[in-house]
Structure 1
């Protein structure tokens, strides 16, 4: 079954818990992968953005190599079990980990004993953007306006985030830009944060682009900024933080890791898969249908990117 066949219209939910991709065309056989069966371990439950990204990558890994690729969801222990599975796995390419920017937060806050340096970093695949939203009656229309308002009203503006996650880092970055006049508070998951914002318990929150579009169209919320230096393709009319003079670009980027000392043949093969995906017009179309933006980096490009990402997160965690 095609991964895209499992995608529900208008959403990200995939029906299957795991897939196998065994296309055996001449094109698929051009990339020689060192094993015939691959498990992509995901520290998240089925149905979310991380799971979606894993299944799409599994589809293309199988398509180009002919390997049978299964996605395995292991959220036990907050994802620690998944990280342990791959960190201690065989270095032959048969087990890979797919996770996102939270790997830095989890490691730096002590939630995970593993950081990105404890794996072989292979590639980045795609990314999600968060936007900063406020109620439509807020006395500011932009992120720069929110920061100015917070400076003019120290201690009065609250930013709802989820402590211990990437949204807390985003809140802390905005707090620093406001010279600590804005307060970051724990408001829970995105659904909880939204309820708190609409209930006037907090003044601004980070939210995924897809959800934000619904509330903007309903006339309940307004977007202050996209937290990326480039416009989001699903809402190109929304301003970026950078365009307002706020140096904050922090998308949620999904990356693929292997065990330490991964077989060089597997690294070369994944590099070839990434190169093929960059040239395959269907890849961008499939990810766009799943409301994801391709963000492809190979094993040579991912190292500097992860270091920069890690340094940004660590600058806000004591």
Structure 2
């Protein structure tokens, strides 16, 4: 039986990594003139703390992944990493903070699929191609829909049937226009379900809403809610990956249940577009070493229900291009059916 990491303890322990990561909240500063690094500064990189901008609130899977990687990257690069949370606009606020930062390697974005979706939905004017990608570091194949443990629907098919029989009555916690909203719409398209989206907020807000019976369904990473599932408070109706994983207790996929919906979450690092290649390469090399060869990191990442997966900058960019195109086709199809 695998060792589980309790979610509240997980956040607390991440905050206690002495000298490696801290949490900060501040208003983003846009519009200042960018300062290019000198040749000497490039050669000396890094010689001061590096700030990871997480464009979500504290406590979710993105934040926790950034903190864990910050600890081990700090050891690998012999510097400290500071995590700053700048939530808002589906991640666009924090992402823009990095987009408009000095291209000196000391401010880096850690985010996921939502960066692509924000532009496709018109919530932002930029996507991954407006940054310099340093690499993909993590995959989460455990995207899931969770419901109350005593709900009358405990599988994806039962949930779909309930949403067909009660159109617009079952509420779905999401960030309207974001990654989970797209999952909901794909589920509706594939099954004929009719759900009511409720804009709740981040992962912790969604869990509170479900615990308080304010919503019926929460799309979330399996690892964030695994302990609630184990104790019976919540139930997973299925995972959205292409196949079952032991890491997620071999929970049946939507595909196995005959529902053609598949989403897998990736987490990446990105710098401002004009960041020198030498700086990005140095960061990426350290990331590769941590993800592929640091057994302590790998063990902890898996205890957080994420799968260490390194993709170099060019490969990661191509992968993100492909994912963006698949989302674009899905959104076009959904819009065609709505009109």
Query: Are 1:266 and 2:283 counterparts?
Result: no
Provide closer, same or farther for how the CA distance between residues 224 and 39 of structure 1 changes in structure 2, counting only shifts above 3 A. Answer: same
Q: How does 1:66-145 map to 2 (within 5 A)?
A: 66-75=78-87, 79-128=91-140, 129-135=142-148, 140-145=153-158
Cα distance, 1:297 vs structure 2: 1.6
Partner residue in 1 for 2:72:
60
TM-score (structure 1 length as normaliser) = 0.78
Structure 2 unaligned regions, length at least 5: 1-5, 22-42
RMSD of the TM alignment (CA)? 3.4
Q: How does 1:115-264 map to 2 (within 5 A)?
A: 115-128=127-140, 129-135=142-148, 140-147=153-160, 153=165, 155=167, 158=170, 160-162=172-174, 163-179=176-192, 181-186=193-198, 188-189=200-201, 204-210=217-223, 212-264=225-277
Q: How does 1:12-31 map to 2 (within 5 A)?
A: 12-13=11-12, 14-15=14-15, 19-20=19-20
SS of structure 2 residue aligned to 1:182: coil
Cα distance, 1:56 vs structure 2: 1.9
SS of structure 2 residue aligned to 1:98: strand
2:313 to 299, 305, 308: 299
SS of structure 2 residue aligned to 1:229: coil
1:281 to 295, 299, 320: 295
Contact 1:33–1:269, Cα closer than 8 Å, also in 2: no
Q: Aligned partners of 1:80, 1:198: CA distance in 2, in Å? A: 28
Q: Aligned partners of 1:205, 1:219: CA distance in 2, in Å? A: 15
Residue by residue, what CA displacement relative to the aligned partner does 1:40-91 show, whole Å, maximum 9, x if unpaired? Answer: 2222334432222222222232222223433233336665443233212232
TM-score (structure 2 length as normaliser) = 0.73
Partner residue in 1 for 2:34:
none
Partner residue in 2 for 1:24:
none
Deviates more, 1:270-279 or 1:32-41: 32-41
Q: Aligned partners of 2:11, 2:99: CA distance in 1, in Å? A: 28
Provide closer, same or farther for how the CA distance between residues 239 and 164 of structure 1 changes in structure 2, counting only shifts above 3 A. Answer: same
Q: Aligned partners of 2:117, 2:18: CA distance in 1, in Å? A: 27
SS of structure 2 residue aligned to 1:12: helix
- Alignment: residue pair count: 300
Structure 1 unaligned regions, length at least 5: 1-6, 22-31
